[in-house]
């Protein structure tokens, strides 16, 4: 079997960054490069696979232990976050990690510091893959992709391994909230599924944020600064004023657990006009709706002060908390717990401070909790993943399959 580290490095070498401003599906054609690669690799293993017009790879491994075992699926997304470059990734591989700071050699003076990331100590003696500081790594979610593909290769090369029908899915555009918009759950054919899209080893999640994105447009009025008194409306400053109306303590850097937040993710503007981008998150549906109302009240305040139409808001729902769709099928959580414990892993069951394709899939009739893929510091240039965590994730997948088969 191919080593998971080699598989992972092949996948991160492909630029698959998604684009929130694109209206196409997938949002970027470059994602299809990896999706086609995965389809071909699955077929090379002897697995029936297809890539549809929307960028979904679906594959199926027939049961070898009867038809009374429910079909179980495993899903990962191929795109990387628009928050940092995913092109020309140059991973650093640290064998037998010594527990000290890790210099990121692409940027002088940049390092993964143990003082900032004490969790690094948990991986002393392991093989850790980092970025070189110039790009993200892509462990979110190419670690999950590699783990599912390693599972598939194991199943196909070990005919003695008993299993029910196994479904495999790879999706585009998860990072921009459109990962399963056109995913055909009935065609996929699984009764239950798991996304391999979590963080550190042991994570198991079936609760996530309710989520929306928001764009605030500020229409200013540019007048020559020498004659601007009483006339100029500086869109940049007005947008900054609107942002200052939002509660500081409800930013991501000050929240944890079940606490929601307002997060400004982008700004682009001039004196004449400016756009401010936000994401809005809360586990509680009522508080989520109040957060959207709060942002609209800020817009109303700005318009009351500077004139109607100076500020406009476009708020778009992204996904709901999947807990109420997964909890009635709690046995799939229990199987994941047992599968981890069999590998000596202590399950960490907690709410996702984010979202996965599984959130929307759960509301589409496919209960779909989330399992660790092993990475840390997603969406940025300090991302890293221990190889041993990916290896363990693959074993957890195989254990889940065995538990569904009654083994």
Q: Could you confirm whether 174 is annotated as catalytic?
A: yes
Of 132, 165, 173, 174, which one is the catalytic site residue?
Answer: 174
Output the six-digit token pair for 214: 């928001």
* Selected catalytic residue, list 79, 141, 203, 383: 79
Q: What tokens were used for 53?
A: 């017009």
Strand partners, 267: 276
CA-based R_g, the chain, Å = 23
Say how far apart CA 236 and CA 223 lie, in whole Å.
Answer: 14
CA dist., res. 18 & res. 223, Å (int)? 38
Q: Which residues are catalytic?
A: 79, 174
């Amino acid at each position: 079997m191919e080593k998971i580290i080699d598989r992972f490095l092949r996948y991160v070498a492909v630029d698959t960054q998604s684009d929130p401003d694109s209206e196409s599906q997938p949002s970027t054609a470059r994602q299809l490069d990896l999706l086609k690669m995965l389809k071909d690799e699955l077929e090379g293993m002897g697995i029936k696979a297809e890539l549809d017009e929307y960028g979904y790879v679906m594959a199926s491994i027939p049961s070898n232990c009867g038809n009374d075992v429910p079909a179980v699926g495993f899903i990962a997304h191929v795109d990387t976050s628009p928050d940092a470059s995913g092109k020309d990734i140059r991973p650093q591989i640290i064998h037998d990690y010594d527990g000290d700071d890790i210099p990121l050699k692409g940027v002088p003076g940049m390092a993964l510091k143990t003082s900032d990331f004490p969790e690094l100590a948990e991986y002393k003696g392991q093989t850790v893959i980092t970025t070189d500081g110039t790009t993200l790594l892509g462990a979110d979610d190419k670690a999950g992709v590699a783990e599912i593909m390693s599972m598939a290769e194991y199943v196909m090369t070990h005919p003695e391994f008993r299993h029910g029908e196994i479904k495999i899915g790879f999706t585009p555009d998860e990072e921009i909230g459109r990962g399963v918009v056109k995913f055909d759950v009935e065609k996929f054919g699984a009764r239950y599924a798991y996304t391999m899209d979590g963080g550190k080893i042991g994570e198991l999640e079936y609760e996530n944020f309710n989520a929306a994105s928001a764009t605030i447009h500020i229409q200013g009025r540019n007048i020559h600064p020498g004659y601007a008194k009483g006339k100029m409306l500086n869109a940049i400053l007005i947008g900054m004023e609107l942002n200052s109306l939002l509660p500081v303590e409800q930013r991501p850097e000050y929240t944890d657990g079940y606490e929601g937040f307002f997060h400004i993710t982008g700004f682009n503007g001039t004196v004449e006009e400016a756009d401010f981008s936000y994401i809005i998150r809360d586990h509680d549906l009522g508080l989520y709706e109040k957060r959207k109302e709060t942002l609209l009240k800020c817009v109303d305040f700005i318009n009351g002060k500077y004139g109607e139409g100076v500020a406009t808001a476009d708020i778009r729902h992204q996904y709901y908390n999947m807990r109420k769709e997964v909890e009635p099928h709690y046995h799939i959580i229990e199987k994941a717990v047992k599968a981890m414990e069999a590998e000596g892993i202590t399950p960490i069951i907690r709410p996702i401070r984010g979202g996965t394709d599984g959130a929307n899939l759960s509301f589409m009739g496919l209960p779909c909790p989330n399992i660790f893929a092993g990475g840390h510091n997603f969406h940025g240039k300090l991302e890293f993943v221990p190889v041993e965590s990916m290896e363990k994730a693959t074993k957890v997948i195989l254990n889940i399959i065995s538990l569904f088969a009654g083994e």
